[in-house]
Structure 1
Amino acid sequence: MSFLPAFFRKNKEDDYETILASLAADIQKRQTKLADIRLRERRSTLLVTLYTFVAWVVYVALWYTGALPSLAGYYRNFRVEKAVKGMPVVVGPIIILFIRRIVQIWYTRKGDAEEKTLQKLMKEQRTKVEEIKKKTNYYSTRELLQRYDENSPASSPLRQRIVAQPQGTPGTPTRPSNGGTGAPILNTPQNQAAAPVSPPQPPPGPSRKQWYDKLADAVLGDDDQARFALICEQCFAHNGLVKESVWEQTQYVCPKCNHFNPSRRSNRQGIRPPPLAVGPRSPVMQVIPPTPPHAHPERQGPPTQERSEPVESETNLMEVDQS
């Protein structure tokens, strides 16, 4: 009966599915926490800047109107008292910038520590996947299948892509198109456990933006993560970032290949606007204003009965001109 503890211990050590699922869940939590830290940094920077600026404005107003209390308990020297009272007026903006910088540094250090932990977890996940591959002889099995399996096209790009990416869904084993000798090896439970398991339900994302977040975007500038990239549909070149509100209405000419990229709304409605007249290397971008709903049926063409009337009128005009 001495083999029972060793058997259970071996199963516990080889439970790769649980280990990888736990690592994936931790990575998702760290990513969500990191996004929350970045969002809280913008909120705190905005609130600290607003509160300190309002306090400075109130002090300047009191100092300008002479409503500040006098310095009691000291020798009354008007020059010294005036200099002491006027010093916060000059030093106030510097103090505001200093406090704002302290808040940014604190959140930056907190975010960097969270990012290091996230990178450590991802490195541990990659190490565990490599360990599973070595224990299950993944590389040697793949090489043997590519070398001796004649029934399946091993040299095709699709098969190479499938073999090179073992991180698939755990419950779906790899099945060749034609029955070959490597099918029993690919469907073993060890190779199924080698794939990292994603959690069934991802953790909730970061908190949604409130009105003060929009105010922070207006004061501090839009975050690059809230913008959409313009990718050319022909050469796949990156042509900058645009706001989410104008992303679907933006049409532009790629400065790399001079290809006209219509807006997303035009592609969805099946409308192909005429290309913009531009030079060979000059990037041009245009935002299409939103079209009212009643204007869409007119672009699709009027009904047949209505089309017959203008044709008849044109015929009458031609007859008049000929006469």
Structure 2
Amino acid sequence: MGSFFSKEKTDSKDYEKILSELDNKIQKAESRLSEIKIRQRRTSFMWIIYSLIIWVFCLVYLFRQVNDPFNSAEDYLIPSLPVVLLPLGIYYIRRGLIYFYDMKQKKEEANLSVLRKEQKEKIEELKKKTSYYTTQSLIERYDEVSKKKKDEAAKESGQDLRQRKPVSMPVNRPIPPLQQQQQQQPQPYPRAPIPQQAMQNYSNQQRLAQPNIPQQSRVEPRWYDKLVDALVGDAGPETKYALICNHCFAHNGLVLQEEYDTIQYVCPVCKQFNPSRKSKQVIPKSILEENDTDEKEHKPSEKEIEDVIKQLKMEVDEDEKKGLNTIASRVRHRRSANSDAEDTDNEDK
């Protein structure tokens, strides 16, 4: 028995060591990934700035050579080559830098996904080896504290749903309360006290199976980020708005903020036209106020409603005295009465 408990303790320590190492590796991989993204922006920015400065110097030198009357056309050839070829070099070298950093970023993302997958597999292996799910089900079934917490969470979620969902139709049939339903349902298992060892194992499993999630530090934008976006034109998806079709609710791409209110398009999925937000007509407030006043004017009073209800009750009592107990018989009787009245009117005419 002693060897068994010592082996189990050693295994739990080994799993804790493995999970902590994986957690550290994941944190380092995430920090390297963020550094690669920042380095890509800074390298592109510095390359564009320095190359533009060199190109401006070459352009000024060429301008001075052109204005010199003692130089011939052959003297203009060598200074003009950097002015012509340097923009092409700037563009293609920048593309090469983007490709280089994209490859590094994809490699780091693949490494990060492998580490997360390995961490998930180790956690599942630890749960199965230590009977995590069995212990959790036993505690949820027999522990009074966990049952109370679960009931409180269910009540809070029900209250949130009742607060969010508006009442559209009245409920005609009363619903039995939850406590009566619980009293009617028999309990399949008798309640029994939980061993202290199982509770301790369950707490240890929760501590081992839930590693600390690293919090990524948000990189604050600096003064040259806007200049980089203006020069490089690297507008990411986080700065764009999604186009959702008003008919089929399909995603139709991303647009910039300044284009979101004016763009109009035909959805490629349902082939329906989606007008721009500015072209949609807005109902004036005066019309809404007129509609509200009309509804208030035509709204019947409580006395009129009571008179109508009394009249309907009297008609129902008269129909019951005549032996018309069903709705169908009342409808047939009224139709025959209306047809007889129409016949008498025609005879009088």
Counterpart of 1:131 in structure 2 is: 122
Q: CA RMSD in A?
A: 5.1
Equivalences for residues 105-254 of structure 1 within 5 A: 105-106=96-97, 108-137=99-128, 189-190=204-205, 193-199=208-214, 201-205=215-219, 207-208=220-221, 210=223, 212-225=224-237, 226-232=239-245, 235-247=248-260, 249=261
Q: Secondary structure at the match of 2:79?
A: helix
**Aligned residue pairs: how many?**
235
CA distance in 1: counterparts of 2:211 and 2:284, whole angstroms = 50
CA contact (8 A) 1:231 1:237 kept: yes
- The partner residue of 1:59 within 52, 58, 61 is 61
The TM-score with structure 1 as length reference comes to: 0.52
CA distance in 2: counterparts of 1:253 and 1:51, whole angstroms = 42
How far the C-alpha of 1:123 sits from its partner, in A, is 0.6
CA contact (8 A) 1:129 1:194 kept: no
Distance change in 2, residues 1:94/1:22 (3 Å) = same
Q: Secondary structure at the match of 1:56?
A: helix
Q: Which has the higher contact order (CA 8 A, sep 6+)?
A: 1
How far the C-alpha of 1:12 sits from its partner, in A, is 5.0
How far the C-alpha of 1:255 sits from its partner, in A, is 0.7
Specify which structure has the higher proportion of helix.
2
CA contact (8 A) 1:228 1:242 kept: yes
How far the C-alpha of 1:204 sits from its partner, in A, is 2.8
How far the C-alpha of 1:26 sits from its partner, in A, is 2.3
How far the C-alpha of 1:219 sits from its partner, in A, is 4.1
How far the C-alpha of 1:191 sits from its partner, in A, is 5.4
How far the C-alpha of 1:237 sits from its partner, in A, is 2.4
Deviation track 1:8-39 (CA, whole Å, cap 9, x = no partner) reads 78625424553454244224313321321332
Deviation track 1:242-296 (CA, whole Å, cap 9, x = no partner) reads 113454x4675661455xxxxxxxxxxxxxxxxxxxxxx365452539xxxxx99
Percent sequence identity over aligned pairs: 19
One-letter amino acid of the structure 2 residue matched with residue 255 of structure 1:
C
CA contact (8 A) 2:263 2:275 kept: yes
One-letter amino acid of the structure 2 residue matched with residue 217 of structure 1:
D
How far the C-alpha of 1:124 sits from its partner, in A, is 1.9
Structure 1 unaligned segments of length 5 or more: list them: 71-77, 151-177, 259-280, 290-294, 309-323
Distance change in 2, residues 1:130/1:13 (3 Å) = closer
- The partner residue of 1:288 within 278, 283, 287 is 278
Counterpart of 1:274 in structure 2 is: none
Q: Secondary structure at the match of 2:61?
A: helix
CA distance in 2: counterparts of 1:236 and 1:46, whole angstroms = 41
CA distance in 1: counterparts of 2:262 and 2:188, whole angstroms = 50
How far the C-alpha of 1:89 sits from its partner, in A, is 1.1
Q: Secondary structure at the match of 1:288?
A: coil
- The partner residue of 1:29 within 28, 31, 34 is 31
CA distance in 1: counterparts of 2:287 and 2:234, whole angstroms = 38
CA distance in 1: counterparts of 2:83 and 2:94, whole angstroms = 17
Counterpart of 1:273 in structure 2 is: none
CA contact (8 A) 1:227 1:242 kept: yes
CA distance in 1: counterparts of 2:268 and 2:94, whole angstroms = 42
Distance change in 2, residues 1:51/1:298 (3 Å) = farther
Distance change in 2, residues 1:233/1:301 (3 Å) = closer
CA contact (8 A) 1:228 1:244 kept: yes
Counterpart of 1:44 in structure 2 is: 46
Distance change in 2, residues 1:123/1:239 (3 Å) = same
- The partner residue of 1:18 within 17, 20, 25 is 20
CA contact (8 A) 1:16 1:193 kept: no
Determine which structure has more spread, i.e. the larger CA radius of gyration.
2
Equivalences for residues 85-100 of structure 1 within 5 A: 85-100=76-91
Deviation track 1:184-209 (CA, whole Å, cap 9, x = no partner) reads 7995533553345312x43232x415
The TM-score with structure 2 as length reference comes to: 0.49
How far the C-alpha of 1:127 sits from its partner, in A, is 1.4
Deviation track 1:55-92 (CA, whole Å, cap 9, x = no partner) reads 2321232122118xx8xxxxxxx76xx42443221442
